[in-house]
């Protein structure tokens, strides 16, 4: 290769890397706002990743990162599970749905380590825009056919929006408590956190509300890490008090809590409710798990297996292709092997949170706590927005400092979250 061609190639690679950095920023911004924009940004990132080349360096980054290895093992299980799947077509479709998690190694090897704060701030900006839209709807200033003052998000978007809002609230509170901003900027963050907290309970996502309380408790525990007893006492006192206050002040939250309690009590008489269907899905799925405890039914075979069990145990109820629980979903397809593989991802993340010493360690711990919580109520690694959110933030949080050789600006990665 001549020096001119080599120079041109290097220029193309540099331009592509720079473009990919901004594609990732736009991806972070789009996650709370638009699935179409997320798809476009993901395709652009993957295309730029291929064009950029430098595969040996990228492979070294991917294979030297413990979280990446855990994710690759998890994804590999979907291919391995094809060996005992009865439906190859359904198995291939299930593998295709994992492309959101499959973007993690791509993002890990293409994001700029020293720009981590940029991606986080971009996500919070997009989340703030989404939050402002719910407030406009709440005040009757935004009108769509499926949005009203009593239902502030499009269709069932609250299933995704509230969990993202809960983690966004944690990020802003983290900056208030441990960031270096003072004066007017810090006051602005406090007001943003307050708006997020109020918005959490005028919207309808119960999973996000549970995550909010879990992350709020974690914040107290982390803040009083040098006096754990004091932190535990405050958690036991403030969280129930906050719950009681919100229950009294928010009609929407009160209605959602009361409805869930009623649906649980009436489950045996009427399982055809939002909560009742989840309980039924888990109950019927247990039949599959108990029949195939070690390796499950295979990749993509959940839907057909569940249909058979449903026809036997609850023929009058609708069958499902998703038990609305990530753990149950994996146990049905891959048994204990799958559950170990899934949990190993978060175990490694906890380990990295302990071993990597910088200002992000508390967020690294909160991230798996967040996902382990919300996955109890939905298969959030399969859900579009949260699947990409996992891949993007796992790449941001668990990239190793040695990977700063990717940097296209040479800036340092140390410092506060939103400097």
- Name the residue with tokens 């559950």: 339
Neighbours of 36 (CB within 10 A): 9
Neighbours of 232 (CB within 10 A): 14
Q: What percent of the chain has pLDDT over 90?
A: 72
DSSP code string of 375-419 = TTTS-TTTSHHHHHHHHHHHHHHH--GGGGGG-SS-----S-TT-
Determine the average pLDDT of the residues in 285-310. 96
What is the DSSP code (8-state) at residue 115? G
147, 137 contact by CB (below 8 A): yes
Going from the C-alpha of 51 to that of each of 6, 62, 203, the distances in angstroms are 15, 18, 42
Quote the tokens at residue 176.
């208030």
> In degrees rounded to 5, what are phi and psi of residue 206?
-70, -35
Determine the average pLDDT of the residues in 182-200. 94
List, in sequence order, every residue forming a beta bridge with 144; answer none if it has no partner: 147
Per-residue model confidence (pLDDT) at position 405: 42
Query: Does residue 415 surpass a pLDDT of 80?
Result: no
What is the spatial distance between Cα 7 and Cα 9, in angstroms, rounded to a whole number? 5
Per-residue model confidence (pLDDT) at position 151: 73
Per-residue model confidence (pLDDT) at position 140: 84
Determine the average pLDDT of the residues in 47-66. 91
Per-residue model confidence (pLDDT) at position 157: 80
Query: Does residue 97 surpass a pLDDT of 60?
Result: yes
Instruction: Grade residue 181 by pLDDT with cuts at 50, 70 and 90.
Output: confident
Hey, is 59 helix, strand or coil?
Answer: helix
Per-residue model confidence (pLDDT) at position 53: 81
Q: Which of 120, 61, 106 is nearest to 396 (CA)?
A: 120
Quote the tokens at residue 339.
């559950």
Per-residue model confidence (pLDDT) at position 1: 53
64, 400 contact by CB (below 8 A): yes
What is the DSSP code (8-state) at residue 141? -
pTM tops 0.85, yes or no: yes
Query: Does residue 298 surpass a pLDDT of 70?
Result: yes
Per-residue model confidence (pLDDT) at position 389: 98
- Name, in order, each residue with C-beta under 8 angstroms of 103's C-beta and a sequence gap of 6 or more: 42, 45, 46, 388, 391, 392
Instruction: Grade residue 413 by pLDDT with cuts at 50, 70 and 90.
Output: very low
Going from the C-alpha of 213 to that of each of 162, 220, 224, 295, the distances in angstroms are 12, 11, 17, 35
Query: Does residue 412 surpass a pLDDT of 80?
Result: no
Query: Does residue 146 surpass a pLDDT of 80?
Result: no
What is the spatial distance between Cα 388 and Cα 378, in angstroms, rounded to a whole number? 15
What is the spatial distance between Cα 106 and Cα 104, in angstroms, rounded to a whole number? 5
Quote the tokens at residue 203.
């919207």
Instruction: Grade residue 6 by pLDDT with cuts at 50, 70 and 90.
Output: low
Neighbours of 13 (CB within 10 A): 16
Determine the average pLDDT of the residues in 210-238. 90
Over the stretch 360-392, which tens digit does the pLDDT of each residue have? 999 999 999 999 999 999 999 999 999 999 999
- The overall average pLDDT reported for the chain is 90
What is the spatial distance between Cα 227 and Cα 100, in angstroms, rounded to a whole number? 40
């Amino acid at each position: 290769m001549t020096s001119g061609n080599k120079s041109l190639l290097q220029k193309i690679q540099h331009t592509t890397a720079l473009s990919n950095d901004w594609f990732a920023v736009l991806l972070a911004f789009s996650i709370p706002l638009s699935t179409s924009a997320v798809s476009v940004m993901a395709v652009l990132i993957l295309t730029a990743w291929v064009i950029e080349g430098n595969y040996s360096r990228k492979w070294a980054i991917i294979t030297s990162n413990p979280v990446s290895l855990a994710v690759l093992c998890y994804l590999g299980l979907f291919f391995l599970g094809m060996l005992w799947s009865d439906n190859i077509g359904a198995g291939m479709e299930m593998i295709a749905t994992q492309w959101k998690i499959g973007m993690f190694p791509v993002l890990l090897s293409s994001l700029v380590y020293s720009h981590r704060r940029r991606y986080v701030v971009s996500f919070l900006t997009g989340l703030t825009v989404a939050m402002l839209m719910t407030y406009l709807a709440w005040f009757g200033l935004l009108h769509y056919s499926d949005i009203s003052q009593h239902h502030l998000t499009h269709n069932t978007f609250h299933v995704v929006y509230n969990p993202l809002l809960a983690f966004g609230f944690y990020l802003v509170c983290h900056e208030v408590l441990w960031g270096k901003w003072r004066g007017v900027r810090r006051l602005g963050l406090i007001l943003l956190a307050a708006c997020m907290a109020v918005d959490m309970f005028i919207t309808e996502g119960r999973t996000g509300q549970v995550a909010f309380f879990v992350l709020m408790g974690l914040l107290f525990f982390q803040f009083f890490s040098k006096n754990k007893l004091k932190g535990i006492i405050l958690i036991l006192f403030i969280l129930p008090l906050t719950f009681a206050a919100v229950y009294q002040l928010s009609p929407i939250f009160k209605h959602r809590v009361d409805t869930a309690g009623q649906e649980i009590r009436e489950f045996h008489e009427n399982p055809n409710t939002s909560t009742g269907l989840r309980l039924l899905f888990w109950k019927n799925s247990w039949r599959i798990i108990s029949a195939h405890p070690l390796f499950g039914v295979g990749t993509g075979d959940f839907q057909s297996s569940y249909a058979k069990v449903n026809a036997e145990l609850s023929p009058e109820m609708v069958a499902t292709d998703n038990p609305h629980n990530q753990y149950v979903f994996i146990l049905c397809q891959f048994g204990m092997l799958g559950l170990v593989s899934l949990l190993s991802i978060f175990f490694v993340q906890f380990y990295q949170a302990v071993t990597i010493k910088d200002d992000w360690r508390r967020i690294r711990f909160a991230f798996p706590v967040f996902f382990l919580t919300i996955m109890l109520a939905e298969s959030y690694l399969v859900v579009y927005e949260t699947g990409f959110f996992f891949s993007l933030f796992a790449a941001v949080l668990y990239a190793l400092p040695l990977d700063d050789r990717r940097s296209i600006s040479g800036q340092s990665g140390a410092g506060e979250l939103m400097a």
